[in-house]
A and B are shown apart, each in its own frame.
Chain A
Amino acid sequence: MTWVLSIAIAILTALGAPIFVALLAGASLALLLFPGPPLIALHQTIFGGLDAYALLSVPFFVFAGELMAISGIANRLIGLVRALFGRVPGSLGLAALGGSTLIGTICGSSAAAVAAVGRNIHPQLIDNGYGKQRAAGIITSSGAIDIVIPPSIAMILYGASAEQSIPKLFIAGIVPGLVIALLMAGYISTSAAIARIPRQARFQAQAAFVAFRQAFWALTMPVFVLVGIYAGLFSPTEAGGFACAYALFLGFVVYRTITFPAMLEAAVRSAMMTSRIMMVVAAAGVISWILTVEGIPQALIQATADAGLSPLGFLLIVNLLLLAIGCVLDPTSAILVLSPLLVPIAISLGIDPIHFGVVMTVNLAIGMFTPPFGLNIFVAQSVLGARTADIYRGVLPFVAVQICALAFITLIPGLSLWLVDSMS
């Protein structure tokens, strides 16, 4: 059954069929050939895959990204980064990484970050000589940080299903998120220097001041969203809606760069982008459901448990398992299904469940942009209009960089736990 499922999906995606069609073709075949759950489960699990409040951050942040582009907010912010750090090799790549990390602190979904940042910085990356592959790689892989840095939907779900403290998980994610960001920054900068990507002229206080004045109101946008979340005005999911509202305020009132027809057009584009992303999310939900009722993840974990591993061996196997599972399951389903099974084994081996939650989250974050499958890859391809081949080649170094980060995070529990311990 699993074979029918995976072969059908693999062949159809390789031929270039829409991802959701490939996934649903596999699911339909599996349900038809192997009697079990009634066929209406197809409808029910598609609907169930979409009926989740936390997913609302996707349309809202995609729309916010569009509005930042058409209002000129994004360009002003990028202009400021370049005026300040233009001398640093890879400054624009770092701006993309910084943008993703910042969006990560206000939203829990990495697909939304890839869409919002990609929409705004990708054209400039190309114009500035980053090349198709490097530009695509930076955008696609940077978004993953979002589910590691709080707030994070993946961690909320881990906390709920593994019975761990969600605030502690959030705190535990901060340092590992920064570790990933730092390693990424190091790589982006070094590789840009090696590739001799043109740098800006030397730093000029005058120009920096002008850029700052031009970007002042644009800078208040992330500030507004962050303050709103931490002051309790709105929740992380609602933050996306407020980001849209604030961008509209800046565009209509302050900069007067948005017109009503332009807003409507941006809304239509955002709706279409949301639709393309969510069709994959919904179809992946069906696959997860079938695998779960067939007991596939459960069997894999049983095999892991029976292998009699050391804590380190267990963590390594789990890393491999999760990277592989990240190919087919979306992080949401993966966490719901796997954590109740994996966490008791982890605890019995003396692994701290908060540390384990961070390891799981980082793993699944990497899985989202590791070829061949990954939601962020599909999103990037659609937003950037890039070819799959360019994205595949572009992300490979970043997969390596983030697996390095994962190794640190796995081997040094202190990275996750130090802040948690020092705060309690």
Chain B
Amino acid sequence: MSANGIFRLEALAVRLIGMLLGLGMIVMVAVNVANAVGRYSGLFALVGADELLVYGMIWIVMLGAILAARDRSHLSINLLPSAVSGRSATALQIGIGLVTVAVCAFVAWQSFDFVQRIASLNQASMGLGIPMVVPHSAILVGFGGIAAVTAVLTALDIARFASAEEVSD
């Protein structure tokens, strides 16, 4: 596939995940309202609505975190980054990127271990009875995704840093 094709595919994936997050938020509002209305009216009880909402939120948080890693928009104290510029800024960004990849890959690895073990124990949730692998996998996907996205971004940074060496400074 051409580089252009990859970029377009990536843009499509980002859009799709974004839409999924937005629709997820709207569905959560609907479930939340329906649950309260059912309880107040005494007409129906949505057993497990609280689980659905919390697990939904966890998935939204983790998928959103991958997109935030791609935008480099995670919460941080930007005192130093906003004080430096040029090559030192790129170097700082590369350093932070490498730490992020290492930490998130490590968490994803531990998460993989955890998810495997919880799967073998056949745990189901209390209210909905869904396998606990489903909500727990969000952590694995989220941290795995952050590590992967950040690895690509950092690789691009390094390439830029190296090629700029011959031109500037």
Contacts and interface: CB of A to CB of B under 8 A. Distances in A.
A389 interface: yes
Nearest to A379: B75
A59 B50 contact: no
A242 B77 contact: no
A265 B22 contact: yes
Given A24-B107, A268-B21, A272-B21, A233 B36 contact: yes
Interface string B62-105: 11110110000111111111100000000010011001101110
Contacts of A372: 77
**Residue of B32, B35, B99, B115 with most partner-chain A CB within 10 A:** B32
A240 B80 CA distance: 36
Interface string A1-38: 00000000000111111111100110010000000000
B29 interface: yes
Contact of A16 (B18, B62, B76, B107): B76
A279 B74 CA distance: 9
A18 B74 contact: yes
A245 B26 contact: no
B34 to A, nearest CB: 9
Interface string A156-195: 0000000000000000000000000000000000000000
A39 B110 contact: yes
Nearest to B132: A47
**Residue of B81, B103, B139 with most partner-chain A CB within 10 A:** B103
A217 B65 CA distance: 36
Task: Give the interface SS of chain B, mostly helix, strand, loop or mixed.
Answer: helix
A14 B36 contact: no
A274 B21 CA distance: 11
Given A46-B107, A264-B19, A274 B79 contact: no
B79 A28 contact: no
A378 interface: yes
A50 interface: yes
Q: Classify chain A: how many residues form its interface, as a range.
A: 35 or more
A263 B23 CA distance: 10
A146 to B, nearest CB: 19
A376 to B, nearest CB: 11
Contacts of A387: 78-79, 82
B110 A43 contact: yes
Interface string B15-33: 0001101111110110011
B39 to A, nearest CB: 9
B25 A51 contact: no
Contacts of B114: 40, 43-44
Interface in A258-273: 263-265, 267-268, 270-272
A312 B92 CA distance: 47
Contacts of A332: none
Interface stretch (B3-11, B51-59, B151-159, B160-168): B51-59
Given A272-B68, A372-B77, A392-B79, 8 more contacts: A14-B79, A39-B110, A46-B107, A50-B58, A53-B50, A59-B28, A275-B68, A381-B75
Interface of B: 18-19, 21-26, 28-29, 32-33, 35-36, 40, 50, 53-55, 57-58, 60-65, 67-68, 73-82, 92, 95-96, 99-100, 102-104, 106-107, 110-111, 113-115, 117, 135-136, 139-140
Interface of A: 12-21, 24-25, 28, 39-40, 42-44, 46-47, 50-53, 55-56, 59-60, 63, 232-235, 238, 240-242, 244-245, 248, 263-265, 267-268, 270-272, 274-280, 282, 372, 378-379, 381-382, 387-389, 392
11 contacts: A12-B96, A18-B100, A21-B104, A24-B104, A24-B107, A42-B110, A43-B110, A43-B139, A46-B139, A56-B57, A279-B65
